[in-house]
Structure 1
Amino acid sequence: LHRDVDLGALPPATPPGVARVLAQCLQRDKSLRFRDIGDVRLELLGAQHHSETPAPIARASQSLVLPIGALAIVLGAIGGWFGARSTAPETERRVRKFDLAEQSPTQSSAFYVPAVSPDGTRVAYIVDDDVFVRDLGSFETRTLAQTSDPSGIVWSPDSRHLAIFGGSGILKANVNDGSMVELSRDAITWGVTGGGWSANDRIIFADDDGIFELPAKGGTPKMLLASDHDKEVDFHYPVGVPGSPVVLFIQHNRDSSYVLQAFDGDRRVNVIDPGEPPITQCAYSPTGHIVFSRGFGESTVWAVPFDLGSMRATGEPFLVLNDATMPSVSQDGTLVVVRGDQGATGEMAIYGVDGSVTRLGEPREYLWALVQSNDEKKIAYNSGKSPNKSDVWIYDRERGTNTRLTFDQEMCAPVAWSPDDSELAVMHFTPTGKNVFTTSFHNTDGSGPSREPVMAGLISFDARWENAAVQPEPAQRESAIRAVRLSDPETLTTVIHSEHLEFGPQLSPDGTLLAYISTESGERNLYCTSFPSGHGKWLISDTPVESSGWSADGSSIYFTTKENRMMRVGVERQSSVQFGLPEVVFEYPRSPTKDAPEFQWVRPIKDGSAFLAVLRNQDESQPNRISVIENWFEEFRTSKR
């Protein structure tokens, strides 16, 4: 080019963006021209987002007809690309919904914390001690890992690994070959929940002390945010926001309220204030929303638009799904939830070893922890609007009446009747940081407290109410089972001290033996030791145990297993203590089968012919299941713009 080209010869309707491209292509100075077609493409894309009124262009002189004609090929190429770009239809993102897995009558427990991989191709979930993975392109579900009491799982950003939180510590599993490495045992407490896995290879989780991060290669957890135990109980289910330092989590307050919060390392912001039903879990969606669940039994899933910069909601929450909980969202907008009846309502029953069922009273909300009086005329139980807002009641079997004994509206459970049935011991979960478990004593005639409370969780008593075993505090990083004499309840004596997680101590009626559950082998096995010395150690069951209890005369230890069996081990005391082999007393169905029993406390009636049980009134037509919604927000895009 020997002189500037007069672009006034261009047709009047030429888009301004095209005119700019031509002007830069025809610069006489080579350094000012586009370098390649990629630069041209970016310029044209930018032109689509800027509306300009084209300036009048003068008619070209005859002397420029040839140069302009020479540009026809360039104009044609650019115009063709631009036209194709503007007329190509956008790919429609359709909403697709389907169930991935459904709880069967033989399944030992409900699905727990399903997690969809960031790339949206796999879903992992927990059932009992097993972690399963399902590839959405496959019909088969495979077991990835078996570990003690897993409480949470989280995917790596590349969707190749899972972090598993459980009683054995924090593990990292390769999803393809199933290999596992232990990342940390320092994080073992009963309250560990996760989590997130950041782009800089840090795993985020919470326990009773606060929110932590752990290098994905292993090491020592580092505190990110400490909980204020004067005001807060703990934090639940922290999740990271991909490509951002923001962590979302549920703040559990001492007044039993729940707040959805965001934290970026410096600022901590309330996203959604306390309300009813309480917020239980949350996830971040790439659509710019926080998806969260409300309620413990009758759960719902909601979403709220969220701005990462201000860490605040930019609109009102809207309902996504009824009868759903535990949301998880992938980077391609796939939402995974647990749907179906959560089985919050139950009935008291006498469940016979022959399979017979005798119903007692009317269905109750969040019914659990049944304890029968020594004369077998009354049953103490816990019930309320939610697990955190419940009280202890007494059911009179002869009169068919229910009498409320406590008015605390908190998480609590009846533990034991006094020998003459005039008192009832109640264990409270009041997480103040120092004493999570406490025990109160009540006159069963409703006249008020019978003695001063004990600043420990007394979970089992001998028949004479002389000694009681103490439930370990959940925040302890080392496990110890202790005991107290009721004549001196302020003095705790250590019976067992171990590096393993040990809990559920059950004192024999004569106060000479203590059964307890330990994860020493990597599973929840049942052991027994002498009380109060702690001398001797006997393995009662080498299969995973859920709960245990003694017969009234101390001749048998009963326990339930994850295989839905009530088991019995005989105890003989002659010159020395001897334990028999485990034998099956009966097998029982599990939820969602109608009238499937739950045995929170294993307490046989005196002749051993039956046990107290809670029957869950689940809707068999709505079983617990994992559901997948692809492109979840498209269903709401028009109304929620």
Structure 2
Amino acid sequence: VQGGTLADRVTGGPLPVRDALRIARDIADGLQAAHDSGIIHRDLKPANVALTPAGKPKILDFGLAKEFTSSSDATTLVGATGAGVVLGTAPYMSPEQTRGLPLDKRSDIWSFGCVLYEMLTGSHPFTGLSASDIVVAILERDADLDALPATTPARVRWLLRRCLEKDPTNRLHDIADARIELDEALRNPEATSGGLPAIATPAIRHSVTRERAAWLTAALALTALVVAMMYGRGRALDPPPGAVYRSAILLPEELRLLALEPAARFALSPDGRRLALIASSATGVPTLWIRPLDSLVAQPIAGTEGASYPFWSPDSKSVAFLARPADQPLVGMQAKLARVDLAGGQPVNLADVTFSATGAWSRDNVILFTKSGTSPLFRVSATAGGVAVPVGKLDTESGDVQHSYPAFLPDGRHYLYTAVGSRAGANNPRAVYVASLDGTEPPRQILDAGSNARYANGHLVFLREGTLLAQRLDMTSLTLQGEAVPIADRVQVTSTGSSGGPGAFSISDTGLLVYQTGLQVRSQLAWMDRSGRPMGLVGQPADYAEVALSPDGSRAIVSAMDPQLGTRDLWIIDVARGSRERFTSEPSDDYAPVWSPRGDRIAFTSVRQGSTDIYERSASGSGPERGHNAARSALGKFAASWSPDGGSLLYIAGGRALARSDLHVMRMDADGPPTPYRESPFIETQARFSPDGRSVAYVASDSGNLEAAAKFSSYPLTRPRCFRHLYRRREHRLGSATRSHCLKFACARLAVWMPTRTMSPSMAASS
């Protein structure tokens, strides 16, 4: 067919509405002919639609097409071309197609809706940085119909909603109905929605917010990557030489990956046959689940509620994990290192732990793990448990804060570990070392600027700045050979404001690699009243994190991800108009913005030159920045709250690498060292000044949960004299109040606490 493809046409932008509807009607004609013959296409997309010189579409490439008249054919999507392979082109795949479920003609109708949307808007309805991101978008998010041209007939909007219904039972059942609707829209383009079936739409479209602590989407896609260079001969999954296979691993709809750190969410068994997952069902409690890779069913393991950081025994028959009470899945609590045999039986506690990190299990049943946030590795028997003993010691002169992420080498005597430093004030992997279990050889640095390294078939696989790399390892000299080769990029890593962090990947002895990609999440800013009722939207959707309102409420500053650079910048949004203006543009992560009381200056946290510090500049964006980094320490500094008189800034010092964080105050109107406000072995975070400057509220873990607590003190700020709990529920974030005595708590729900009378230090002391 002469004239190019529809993909060539939409590359230049959206088509005129009438042209798009005419082409869509003719595509519907072609699909109807195929469906009437019992054929589904399964890969409908603009690249598979040729255009004649007259602009007439012709559907091409029925290479993935299958007859659906027999029940046996309907189930061959996954098995027809190879086990575990989901066929199709990600942006146009139906939800059931991404899951490898049986298909019928309604899957083509979904793809048709995607093509029509793209013709009208010039973009895909479901986007992402990788195929896994796109799959997540398809399963969890709605197409933005507000992006359609204003001249799009209401009938076509209704048609798109019906074509893009995620549940096939609610989707348009026959493509002939789409052709009829398009014909009507072409004949009567000015028609309104009168007479059309009603489709309920919420006042504010569902959006996924980035809660730093835990939740990921229910149908999160992991990626399985089989790399031929890591294969040995005779393995169960031995591919042809040089082959690389990728496939998405989707969780059942009722499960959510639930773990604070990306590295704590899953682990692949050494034999490459099963995946251990930390996930939750309707209960919301993190539990150990086991998913065989040759099955779509995951099974929970009894007695593992509250589990995290799973790792396997060498024989793939048992799983060790961090066990803590199910209602205390937080950093800094007392926990246990436990083991469970998958053949049956209850978990067995092996050792006490006060820090969250993964471990390693040797062929001689020795387990290495990180006992606390400021410790070297410890060892304990995997069978008997008992008192754990340290292995090695911290090199504090080089900046070690802890040793973590151990991994045994094939000889069972040597092991790898990541030395975590404090240069960036959070979880900052400094280097990877190799050491001997018997201590006869001193630890030796084997890799600079990498984390959670693993051995696989003659290679060291490690993470560096979100990219997964492999480099040949000589087992005789224990040295790296040649150059590191990238395997995968945009791997999900710990987001702590550090210059690098451990990430979500696991590799088997057979060379199967499973990793989770970083998600590009679009969220929407919205006004809500104190009862939680939506009042309106602010600005455009983006990948937002922190948001702070100016004192007069006219502006908001947000931290938003730059999808091209992969870093966070600060933007100021005009609340009334919804327009936004860039506030920072450094090639680093900028976040935790705080307004001055007069709204003329903004303090924020940024990671620069390997250190997490606080910076300040005019809210107008003019003039130089001022760095508050004179007092560098092992703790990063995260801006929290500006005092009402403008003289002091309350900030959080610490990070998850230390399993603790403290509260400090720095003077903004004079130089000098910061003053500690609250120091303890626990976590104190999300601090806020009261509007009168006489009190401070913050989230603390000293009671066993992170809950809202208030410390009252005189002003100017000194050490707190008395203490009172405000809200005895586990919460993650405090909002702020500008003119009234109220606190907002942000967790699964928005809650507002309002005292019935004005607080004062004397009242708190007597209560």
Displacement of 1:507: 2.2
Displacement of 1:93: 4.2
1:164 corresponds to: 322
Cα distance in 1, alignment partners of residues 338 and 428 from structure 2: 35
Deviations along 1:551-589, whole A, 9 cap, x unmatched?
A: 32243211122xx2112222233487899xxxxxxxxxx
Displacement of 1:235: 7.0
2:68 corresponds to: none
Q: Secondary structure of 2:358's partner? A: strand
Q: Contact conserved, 1:437 with 1:473, CA < 8 A, in 2?
A: no
TM-aligned CA distance change 1:258 to 1:204, over 3 Å: closer
1:54 corresponds to: none
1:570 corresponds to: 754
Larger Rg: 1
Displacement of 1:162: 1.5
Task: Supply the AA of the counterpart residue of 1:522.
Answer: G
Which fold has the larger relative contact order, with Cα–Cα distance below 8 Å and residues 6 or more apart in sequence? 1
Structure 1 unaligned regions, length at least 5: 1-88, 580-641
1:637 corresponds to: none
TM-aligned CA distance change 1:540 to 1:223, over 3 Å: farther
Task: Supply the AA of the counterpart residue of 1:460.
Answer: S
Displacement of 1:447: 0.6
Task: Supply the AA of the counterpart residue of 1:546.
Answer: H
1:310 to 474, 477, 482: 477
TM-aligned CA distance change 1:575 to 1:99, over 3 Å: closer
Indicate yes or no: 2:520 matched with 1:344: yes
Q: Secondary structure of 2:516's partner? A: strand
Cα distance in 2, alignment partners of residues 267 and 559 from structure 1: 46
TM-aligned CA distance change 1:143 to 1:303, over 3 Å: farther
Cα distance in 1, alignment partners of residues 667 and 431 from structure 2: 43
Deviations along 1:399-429, whole A, 9 cap, x unmatched?
A: 835234463x334424311122211112345
Displacement of 1:107: 3.9
**Cα RMSD after superposing both structures:** 4.6
Q: Contact conserved, 1:169 with 1:184, CA < 8 A, in 2?
A: yes
TM-score normalised according to structure 2 size: 0.51
Cα distance in 1, alignment partners of residues 247 and 638 from structure 2: 45
Q: Contact conserved, 1:502 with 1:517, CA < 8 A, in 2?
A: yes
Decide which moves more: 381-390 or 409-418.
Answer: 381-390
Q: Contact conserved, 2:660 with 2:684, CA < 8 A, in 1?
A: no
Task: Supply the AA of the counterpart residue of 1:246.
Answer: Y
Deviations along 1:218-272, whole A, 9 cap, x unmatched?
A: 3454444536657x8987744332424131548889699988745235363545x
Displacement of 1:519: 2.5
1:13 corresponds to: none
2:360 corresponds to: 196
Deviations along 1:603-637, whole A, 9 cap, x unmatched?
A: xxxxxxxxxxxxxxxxxxxxxxxxxxxxxxxxxxx
Task: Supply the AA of the counterpart residue of 1:289.
Answer: H
Indicate yes or no: 2:412 matched with 1:241: no
Cα distance in 2, alignment partners of residues 492 and 541 from structure 1: 29
Structure 2 unaligned regions, length at least 5: 1-232, 240-244, 324-330, 436-440, 493-503, 632-636
Superposition map of 1:260-339 within 5 A: 261-264=432-435, 265-266=441-442, 268-270=444-446, 281-285=452-456, 287-293=457-463, 296=466, 301-314=468-481, 326-338=504-516
Q: Contact conserved, 1:193 with 1:205, CA < 8 A, in 2?
A: yes
Displacement of 1:388: 9.0
Indicate yes or no: 2:595 matched with 1:425: no
Indicate yes or no: 2:550 matched with 1:373: yes
Indicate yes or no: 2:732 matched with 1:546: yes
TM-score normalised according to structure 1 size: 0.59
TM-aligned CA distance change 1:513 to 1:454, over 3 Å: farther
Indicate yes or no: 2:686 matched with 1:504: yes
Q: Contact conserved, 1:130 with 1:143, CA < 8 A, in 2?
A: no
2:651 corresponds to: 470
Q: Contact conserved, 1:472 with 1:482, CA < 8 A, in 2?
A: yes
Task: Supply the AA of the counterpart residue of 1:481.
Answer: L
Q: Contact conserved, 2:401 with 2:421, CA < 8 A, in 1?
A: yes
Q: Contact conserved, 1:324 with 1:338, CA < 8 A, in 2?
A: yes
TM-aligned CA distance change 1:527 to 1:209, over 3 Å: closer
TM-aligned CA distance change 1:90 to 1:402, over 3 Å: closer
Cα distance in 1, alignment partners of residues 669 and 288 from structure 2: 50
Displacement of 1:281: 4.6
Number of equivalent positions:
465
Q: Which has the higher helix share?
A: 2
Q: Secondary structure of 2:735's partner? A: strand
Superposition map of 1:209-228 within 5 A: 212-216=377-381, 217-219=386-388, 221-224=390-393, 226=395
TM-aligned CA distance change 1:430 to 1:98, over 3 Å: closer
Deviations along 1:453-505, whole A, 9 cap, x unmatched?
A: 56454422233334443313236677643445555664655544444333222
Q: Contact conserved, 2:235 with 2:510, CA < 8 A, in 1?
A: no
Q: Secondary structure of 1:448's partner? A: coil
Q: Secondary structure of 1:553's partner? A: coil
Q: Contact conserved, 1:154 with 1:164, CA < 8 A, in 2?
A: no
2:594 to 401, 416, 431: 416
Q: Which has the higher strand share?
A: 1
Displacement of 1:360: 1.6
2:742 corresponds to: 556
Q: Contact conserved, 2:542 with 2:560, CA < 8 A, in 1?
A: no
TM-aligned CA distance change 1:109 to 1:291, over 3 Å: same
TM-aligned CA distance change 1:359 to 1:486, over 3 Å: closer
TM-aligned CA distance change 1:249 to 1:258, over 3 Å: closer
2:251 corresponds to: 102
2:712 to 530, 534, 537: 530
Cα distance in 1, alignment partners of residues 737 and 313 from structure 2: 48
Indicate yes or no: 2:518 matched with 1:518: no
Superposition map of 1:31-42 within 5 A: none
